[in-house]
Structure 1
Amino acid sequence: MRPELPGFYFDEEKKKYFAIKGPIPGSKPSSSKTKQKPEPKPFKEPNYQKRNKLKALKLLCSRELCGNVVFINKKKSNFKDEIEKTHASNPMVWRYDSTENIGDAALKEFQVDLQTSEGLTTKNILVAGSSGGCLSILRVSKAGQVPFDESETQALYGGTECDPVSVLPRKEKREAPRRIWRPEHSHLHALSSISSIQLIGRPDNSHHVKRALITTLGSAGQGSIFILNLAEEPYIVSPRSLQGNASSECTIWTADCSVSGSRAAIGTNLGAALVDLETGAGSYFLRSQSDVLALQFHQSKRNIVQCGLRNGAIVSVDVRERPGRLTRHQIRSQPSSRTSQATRKKEWFKLSGNINPSHVFYMPSSITCMKTLKTYDQYLMASSMDGTIKLYDQRMVKGGVAVQTYEGHVNSHTRIEFGIDPSETFLMSGGEDCYTRIWSIKSGQLLCENKFSNCVPSVVCWSAVEGQSESNDSIVHRAWLGSREAMFNMF
């Protein structure tokens, strides 16, 4: 009897040992052969906020070797887009002293032509409205430049230069790219909050902004409209008395001006009205049981005004219908809701105006802000008070399905205005948790969230003039944020 050898067997005919193919009897199975292949990991978007300078340098090297197409997590991406996302996810922020309680309700930056002792000069100004009813006009300049003729401006208003303090990144202290000067006194003291600041008309290549529309919320239900003349100093704010059926007592929540600058649409607690800015004559083109909290003129269809209501509905109205003959509609509040027979009547609300009921769509709660993309005006971005921000394709709104959703926004009851950068790449908004967040508009990815204010950053506006970076590879976008604590500049 031949002895047994592990891993071999004895052939009696050939009188020889042969190796056993496969696992040795009694031995443990090989882990390399029995181990299953791991499942592929799902693709994860890169965390741009954690991307350091070394990774950005690798991107640059990859671009130099491979062109504008680079690979991020085994996925093709555009070099310029990736660099802009890196910059947006790691912004630099400055807080300006002596700017508390002046820009928490409305904020706009304008470029104006002013007649000075040196001739016609182009200046940047920041028009800020507060919830206390004060309207302030601040001068803006680049670092190292004189923003105004000190002797001339001091004689007109007095005032102080607001010192910038670097708040982000916290370890780096850099010089602020913008200086601002605040007048000693505000240009308007209203009895209620400033509700909106809008440009009147659209400036061409040879002429800059000359007038702006200012609206106030209204004390005891009496909102007001003012015209701000920016063509010369001292700046003059003139009240515009309303005439016609729009002159009744109402709360003015928002406003927008037509491209021609001849008329304005105002959103009130009674509906939406069209106002002639020269004569003050006004009439309602939409009567609603729900307040119009946000509205805007359609960019290409100039007789269409889009209105966002307190009940979450978004309605497009043709303003060419005769004011005295508004068509009445009864529209379902939430078409998908299931209620009992006793509460079915509460699902419906009444609207009067030239609208298509089948094109009305809804957000979960009250509309806080609404903007269309200038590049493709069929895309509408809207936010509601429950913290929802969505992008809609208006060609597909019959079903009310959004093409993109932006997660992470925090809100419950505050009117917060979000901002879209001029290149329409990024979305920025403050939240009730005092964080400021930036998303990619295309992908919906949350690029960064930072807390540098102890109050809600309730207003965002982008700089009127954008500059190129030193490498000329991307556009440097700067944004202003307003809160009760202070005003901030981010880029």
Structure 2
Amino acid sequence: MRPELPGFYYDEEKNRYFPIKGPIPGSKSVTSSRTKRKKADPVPVQEPNYQKRTKLKALKLLYTRELSGNVIRLNKKKSNFKEEIQKTQASNPVVWRYGSTEHLGDAALKKFQTDVQTSAGLTPRNILIAGSTEGCLSVLRVSEAGNVLFDESEAQDFDGGIECDPDCLLPRKVKDAELVKPPRLLWKPARSRLHALSSISSIQLIGKQDESEIFQSVKRALITTLGSTGCGSIFFLNLAEEPYMVSPRSLQGNVSSKCTIWTADCSTSGSHAAIGTDLGAALVDLETGAGSYFLRSKSDVLALQFHQSGNIVQCGLRNGAIVSVDVRERPGRPFPSLTRHNIPTGQNSKNRDKFFELRGNINPSRVIYMPTSLTCLKTLETYDQYLMASSMDGTIKLFDQRMVKRGVAVQKYEGHVNSHTRIEFGIDPSERFLISGGEDCYTRIWSIKSGQLLSANKFSNTVPSVVCWSSVKRQREMKDGIVHGAWLGSREAIFNVF
């Protein structure tokens, strides 16, 4: 009897071995039976490309670096070791869910550091401000793992409150899961600091924190509400002392008090704020409350941001246009007398003959167009000529503002799901990764440089609509060189992606 060879079978008539993988010569019945078995077997689900990256073990990268240095060869291309390690981690994030945070941070989130005057003296605090669509504003305390949230001497400053129990959601298969400790603890106050009549539309810090360890502590925050009957409101949150106080700020000047306030941003100097309304965009003096419109439009300003120079405000409109407005008053030309412009509705051939009117100090040739209404826009701190924007049809693009006349984005990020929800995306402090929730309740992470989708995970049953990192733009990186700690808010809970 002929011996069996792995991968081969023996044909008695032909007196020779044939490979099992290929068709058997002269035997159609065997081939057809093998084909039927293949069709009957369930087809395995192929992993997306971004999940395959997690199989690239850190040990292999370390071995390659020892031989080649920081510049390693990967997939026949040269790559940076540090970047590949960061992409590997972003492909497999660790996610924590905090209990008792339902309906707290689904409208706005802001994380920062401040010095608070307590009964024990001037004390540094890590604070997370959460705003909800129900109009509630909560000031939560954040503590690193291993540190206590507050001691007995501070209890009188808190008026009760509970510690939010963390629950590890990702990765789903963790050995000794009960031994895994959360990187951060969260404390929720007994009552919210504000009960507005409408949704919290934005939370902005007044005055930016410095990049160094010794920073100027943030003392106030600007809170805006949407307005239930078209009457948006502005509030100041005092962070200098506990308990934190919220006081309203009435608008003066030619800024209408009967407008919907969709968004806001504060200048780096902390002296002025820009607010986006259904009537246009206005500049407000934070000390006096006096304001005036620097952009008039029949299309709502849904998103805006101050440029780093402080002289330009970039506004995203409901009709999909993004305009850069110079907010410096010209000699003899105050804001009430704004220049009128007729702007093309879009770059599509169908809309070339259609125009809409804008009033303000803008350059019509530098208008950027998104397919539908804007949901969020941000400029990169490292390269201030790069502008990232998202629209309600799920489009996320990165533009070079020096090339807007060509009308082509330098990068596009595929996979985002949206149709009508105002979803805020986030850019990590190192400006390497983009993170955003979607209407399908998935949270996705992209590489900003390559546009590659690195991970997509569903850990919330509601839309993760807001995301934030620490307000320190260039915060110190951890020992492994990776910036951690994105906070995400949905109606279900507040999450921390580590």
TM-score range, shorter chain: 0.7 to 0.9
1:190 maps to: 196
> 1:361, 1:399 within 8 Å by CA — same for their partners in 2?
no
2:171 maps to: 169
Residues 1:336 and 2:360 aligned together? no
Pick closer, same or farther for the CA change 1:54–1:458 going to 2, 3 Å: closer
Deviations along 1:65-116, whole A, 9 cap, x unmatched? 2210111111111000000000111000010000000000000001010123
> 1:134, 1:189 within 8 Å by CA — same for their partners in 2?
yes
What is the distance in 1 between the residues matched to 2:432 and 2:68? 24
Secondary structure, counterpart of 1:246 in structure 2? coil
Q: TM-score, normalised by structure 1?
A: 0.86
1:3 maps to: none
What is the distance in 2 between the residues matched to 1:232 and 1:283? 32
The alpha carbon displacement at 1:274 in A equals 0.5
1:417 maps to: 424
What is the distance in 2 between the residues matched to 1:458 and 1:154? 34
Equivalent of 1:327 in 324, 332, 339: 339
> 1:456, 1:484 within 8 Å by CA — same for their partners in 2?
yes
Secondary structure, counterpart of 1:82 in structure 2? helix
Of 244-253 and 290-299, deviating more is: 244-253
What is the distance in 2 between the residues matched to 1:359 and 1:48? 35
What is the distance in 2 between the residues matched to 1:137 and 1:329? 43
2:248 maps to: 239
The alpha carbon displacement at 1:54 in A equals 6.8
Which residue identity does 1:113 align to in structure 2? D
What is the distance in 2 between the residues matched to 1:80 and 1:462? 21
> 2:160, 2:189 within 8 Å by CA — same for their partners in 1?
yes
Which residue identity does 2:79 align to in structure 1? S
2:72 maps to: 70
What is the distance in 2 between the residues matched to 1:400 and 1:87? 34
Of 47-56 and 197-206, deviating more is: 47-56
The alpha carbon displacement at 1:52 in A equals 4.7
2:446 maps to: 439
Aligned-residue Cα RMSD (Å) equals 1.8
Q: How does 1:219-230 map to 2 (within 5 A)?
A: 219-230=228-239
1:276 maps to: 285
Which residue identity does 1:185 align to in structure 2? R
What is the distance in 2 between the residues matched to 1:178 and 1:304? 37
Q: TM-score, normalised by structure 2?
A: 0.85
> 2:430, 2:483 within 8 Å by CA — same for their partners in 1?
no
What is the distance in 1 between the residues matched to 2:422 and 2:312? 24
2:314 maps to: 306
Secondary structure, counterpart of 1:231 in structure 2? coil
Pick closer, same or farther for the CA change 1:279–1:464 going to 2, 3 Å: closer
What is the distance in 1 between the residues matched to 2:292 and 2:467? 31
Which residue identity does 1:50 align to in structure 2? K
Deviations along 1:320-355, whole A, 9 cap, x unmatched? 241221011111101333269xxx5xx211111111
Residues 1:383 and 2:407 aligned together? no
The alpha carbon displacement at 1:150 in A equals 4.4
Pick closer, same or farther for the CA change 1:252–1:145 going to 2, 3 Å: same
1:108 maps to: 110
Secondary structure, counterpart of 2:459 in structure 1? coil
> 1:265, 1:273 within 8 Å by CA — same for their partners in 2?
yes
What is the distance in 2 between the residues matched to 1:242 and 1:354? 23
Residues 1:317 and 2:325 aligned together? yes
1:19 maps to: none
Which residue identity does 1:189 align to in structure 2? H
Which residue identity does 2:481 align to in structure 1? S
Pick closer, same or farther for the CA change 1:52–1:285 going to 2, 3 Å: closer
Equivalent of 1:403 in 386, 401, 410: 410
The alpha carbon displacement at 1:48 in A equals 4.7
> 1:270, 1:287 within 8 Å by CA — same for their partners in 2?
yes
Secondary structure, counterpart of 2:417 in structure 1? coil
Q: How does 1:26-105 map to 2 (within 5 A)?
A: 47-52=49-54, 55-105=57-107
Deviations along 1:163-198, whole A, 9 cap, x unmatched? 000000011222110000000100000000000001
1:32 maps to: none
Of 98-107 and 62-71, deviating more is: 62-71
Secondary structure, counterpart of 1:285 in structure 2? strand
1:43 maps to: none
> 1:467, 1:477 within 8 Å by CA — same for their partners in 2?
no
The alpha carbon displacement at 1:275 in A equals 0.4
Gaps of 5+ in 1: 1-45
Q: How many residues align?
A: 439
Residues 1:461 and 2:461 aligned together? no
Residues 1:366 and 2:373 aligned together? yes
What is the distance in 2 between the residues matched to 1:110 and 1:339? 44
